[in-house]
């Protein structure tokens, strides 16, 4: 295991960002091509003879760029499978900067117009039938968002991971394929949910494959990235599957149907009146 342990751990943040931010976070964006980061990205790698590990900073910078966008606008579906029910939500999402996000449920009809707003003031749910917002109290941060396996805390916490984790890099061979593994552990003072986050990337181009979240020694959930799609000038995983380990038959799967980076997103959208406008449109 190599790397610089006392780093601000951005990979952990990105791992969670990919998992979480995709539904409410700072936006998912493939920025410039990886070579823009200055990292040396190998193209053909022999698993038995791995090259020297890349620099942690380089990987982190690459990830910073990979997921950075000033704004985004996307349409996605969220398929939730639990022991008791299975359903699919059609969502529309806008993000701006790192702190502002708005998600509106468009379907099914029963829930259409229900929305969640995240801004500097906190987290809000919008009840279309009441045409009213309600602040999500801190006591409910551990509850699932709209019945999914993502928690409200997932929505709120991601930007705080910056200072909370320290990361090391290593190579790992899985099914004959070489993977770059970033292991993040929280700094001593950090009040975090997970005691370790392991992020697996494709060795050739550092594309995300899987994130593993640990509580103590126990793997509690995994996030699998799939359906890499070339969106013209960038490639991005279009599907993310969150799998809670204590319920093997349950999962939440997010699939992007459209994804626009650096879209024109008005700041006023992330206010209570902007939320109302966005939520009521299409009803």
Per CB under 8 A, residues contacting another protein are 80, 82, 84-85, 87, 108, 110-111, 114, 124-125, 127-137, 139-140, 143, 146-147, 272
* CB of 83 vs another protein, minimal distance in Å: 9
Separation of alpha carbons 265 and 262, rounded Å = 8
> For residues 5 and 108, which CB has a smaller minimum distance to another protein in the complex?
108
Separation of alpha carbons 166 and 264, rounded Å = 35
* CB of 149 vs another protein, minimal distance in Å: 11
* CB of 106 vs another protein, minimal distance in Å: 14
- HSE value, Cβ hemisphere, 13 Å, CA-based, for 164: 17
> For residues 130 and 191, which CB has a smaller minimum distance to another protein in the complex?
130
| Count of beta carbons in the 10 Å neighbourhood of residue 200 | 21
> For residues 109 and 191, which CB has a smaller minimum distance to another protein in the complex?
109
Closest CA to 199 of 237, 230, 234: 237
> For residues 117 and 265, which CB has a smaller minimum distance to another protein in the complex?
117
* CB of 271 vs another protein, minimal distance in Å: 12
Pairing of strands 208-215, 218-230: antiparallel
Q: Alpha helices, DSSP H only, in the chain?
A: 10-16, 22-24, 56-66, 152-157, 272-280
Helices (H) and strands (E) in the chain, counts: 5, 13
* CB of 84 vs another protein, minimal distance in Å: 5
Separation of alpha carbons 147 and 283, rounded Å = 22
> For residues 117 and 178, which CB has a smaller minimum distance to another protein in the complex?
117
């Amino acid at each position: 295991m190599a790397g610089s342990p006392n780093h601000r751990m951005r990979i952990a943040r990105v791992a969670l960002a990919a998992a979480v931010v995709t539904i409410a976070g700072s936006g998912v964006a493939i920025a410039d091509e990886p070579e823009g980061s200055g990292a040396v990205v190998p193209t053909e790698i022999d698993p038995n003879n791995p090259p020297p590990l890349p620099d942690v900073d380089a990987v982190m910078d690459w990830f910073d760029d990979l997921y950075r966008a000033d704004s985004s606008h996307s349409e996605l579906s969220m398929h939730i499978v639990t022991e008791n029910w299975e359903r699919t939500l059609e969502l529309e999402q806008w993000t701006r900067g790192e702190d502002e996000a708005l998600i509106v449920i468009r379907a099914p009809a029963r829930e259409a117009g229900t929305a969640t707003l995240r801004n500097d003031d906190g987290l809000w749910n919008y009840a279309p039938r009441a045409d009213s917002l309600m602040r999500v109290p801190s006591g409910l941060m551990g509850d699932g968002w709209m019945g999914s396996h993502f928690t409200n805390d997932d929505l709120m916490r991601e930007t705080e991971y910056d200072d909370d984790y320290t990361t090391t890099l290593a190579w790992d061979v899985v099914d004959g394929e070489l993977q770059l593994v970033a292991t993040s552990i929280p700094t001593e003072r950090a009040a975090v949910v997970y005691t370790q986050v392991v992020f697996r990337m494709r060795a050739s181009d550092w594309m995300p494959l899987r994130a593993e979240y640990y509580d103590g020694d126990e793997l509690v959930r995994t996030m699998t990235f799939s359906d890499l799609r070339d969106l013209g000038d960038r490639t991005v995983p279009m599907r993310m599957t969150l799998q809670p380990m204590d319920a093997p038959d349950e999962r939440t799967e997010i699939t992007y149907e459209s994804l626009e980076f650096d879209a024109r997103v008005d700041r006023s959208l992330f206010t209570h009146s902007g939320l109302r406008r966005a939520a009521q449109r299409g009803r």
